[in-house]
Amino acid sequence: MRVVTKTESQLLAALQELDAAVKTPHAAKPPPSLLPLFGRIDSLAAELPPGSDPELRHFLQRKSYEKARQRLEGAQVRRGTCGS
């Protein structure tokens, strides 16, 4: 079983928060601000050590946040058109 790092746990929480914010009805007042979440996700992604999961790093670099969340949740992630 793979050990999840503190950074990966924080990253998963931020990605889950982003997922929930995106699913918030557009009529919400005020609408959720996604920029701080993107910044936090980018900062946490930069903290991942060089030897961390290459597929996760790829998803984060490509801003494929849903795939990154699924990967951290242990789901089988469907490959996209870039071949990874």
Q: From residue 45, give the alpha-carbon distance in Å to each of 8, 19, 27, 51, 61.
A: 8, 17, 31, 13, 8
Domain ranges in the chain are: 6-72
Instruction: Tell me the pLDDT tens digit for each residue of 1-49.
Output: 566 789 999 999 999 999 998 887 766 677 778 999 999 999 999 999 8
Is the pLDDT at 73 greater than 60? The verdict is yes
Reported pTM: 0.84
Q: What is the pLDDT of residue 8?
A: 94
